[in-house]
Amino acid sequence: MADRIVVTSLGILSALGLGKEAHLHALTRGHAGLQHPQFLKTFHAPDCLIGEVRMSDEELAISLNLPGGNNGYTRTTLLALFAMRELLQGVDESLLKDDSFAFINANTVGGMCSVENMYFDFISNTPEGDFLKYIDTLDCAESTQNVAKYFGLKPMMATISTACSSSANALILGARMIQQGVVERAICGGCDAMSRFTVNGFLSLKNVAKNPCKPFDQNRMGLNLGEGAGYLMLERETDAKKRGAEILAYFTGYANTNDAYHPTAPSPDGAGAYRTMFQALEKANLQPETIGYINAHGTATINNDAAEGKAIENLFGTQAPYFSSTKPFTGHTLAAAGSIEAIFSIWAMQEGKVFPNLNFENQMEELQIKPAAQLISNVAVNHVLSNSFGFGGNNVSLVFSKV
């Protein structure tokens, strides 16, 4: 039997807080992290709810022992540093001091959250603004490099940007690198911070809801955006056991496909989503009926939920496993969504719970299945499927199995 890939450490930051305790408290009590933005300066603040991390850039920097003000660290990087710091607690630093491990980071808009402020600096002609130092941060790889530098790491590095499936693809790349013997372990995940560019872009698509989003509901009106970071450490099972590490889950299956249908819309029949779920189960050597819970992509947009719902129904039938979208809790965290929701999926197995699909009220007319609207406890969840579907029809499904 081939050496299995396992998850041995996690780090997460979102609008729900930092770490497992804060997130489980919110997920099991139905406490959403959405609010009108306090730190993102946007004309649209009164009209949109965002899963915003409730710390300013200054507070984040000081907590990380960095200077405040224009220190050259973008909010994107600061969020990533918080989640990475949590993951690295208790990890032997000697394991991460050379290129025997990889850091695969995902991002969509890089340091746009800081670069876009240069506009105001220029028009106000305020020399003390000094935002020019953020020019180089527009590259999505900036956060990858600065995270490694902050922690004194010298890994093999890669940055992935495939829209909303970015960090799910990062996990696939990390697992493949381990399986091929390129590295011994990999830290994989993603980060994204809110920016006016992001908000305005999604508003132009007319798919942002003014009220809390309603995934898989007949009356869904669009998504709520969010920000955050999530990272998972992957390694071989034999290596983890050799060093006495706690194994949190097995990473048993994965797949990615592409619809090649439309730049921003999925194939209406859900064909791409079906293929990636089917192939992920095939990789894991599992039958559909063995899946106990699906953490759905579930953006609450008209097209995405219809396509994903049809794909689930086509693969699993009308007796589909429990499924829910956790985006009403955190907002759609973009590049971080895949890794954050992978972590939620692992916790669902560990806790024997199905997290609720908040705000669900009305069955979708085109589906016979519906999400779990309430918290379900004491469930035997041995295998979970986590979906992340991005612009351009970039579909990723991940399978995790219980230890």
Catalytic residues: 164, 297, 332
What distances in angstroms separate CA 65 from CA 125, 179, 181, one per listed residue? 30, 37, 36
Gap between the Cα atoms of 241 and 264, Å rounded: 43
Phi, psi at residue 189, to the nearest 5°?
165, -155
What distances in angstroms separate CA 383 from CA 26, 155, 379, one per listed residue? 23, 31, 12
Radius of gyration of the chain (CA): 20
* Residue 71 CB-half CA count within 13 A: 18
Gap between the Cα atoms of 166 and 275, Å rounded: 18
Q: What is the largest CA-CA distance in the chain?
A: 65
Q: Which residues contact 265 (CB under 8 A, 6 or more apart)?
A: 303
Q: Is 12 helix (H, G, I), strand (E, B) or coil?
A: strand
SS3 of the chain: helix, strand, coil, percent, to 5: 40, 20, 40
Gap between the Cα atoms of 283 and 130, Å rounded: 50
Q: Is 53 helix (H, G, I), strand (E, B) or coil?
A: coil
> How crowded is residue 149: how many other Cβ atoms within 10 Å of its Cβ?
11
Closest CA to 190 of 209, 208, 174: 174
Gap between the Cα atoms of 210 and 34, Å rounded: 11
| DSSP secondary structure letters along 67-128 | -SSS-S--HHHHHHHHHHHHHHTT--GGGGSSTTEEEEEE-SSTTHHHHTTHHHHHHHT-GG
Q: Which residues contact 218 (CB under 8 A, 6 or more apart)?
A: 362, 363, 364, 365
* Residue 215 CB-half CA count within 13 A: 27
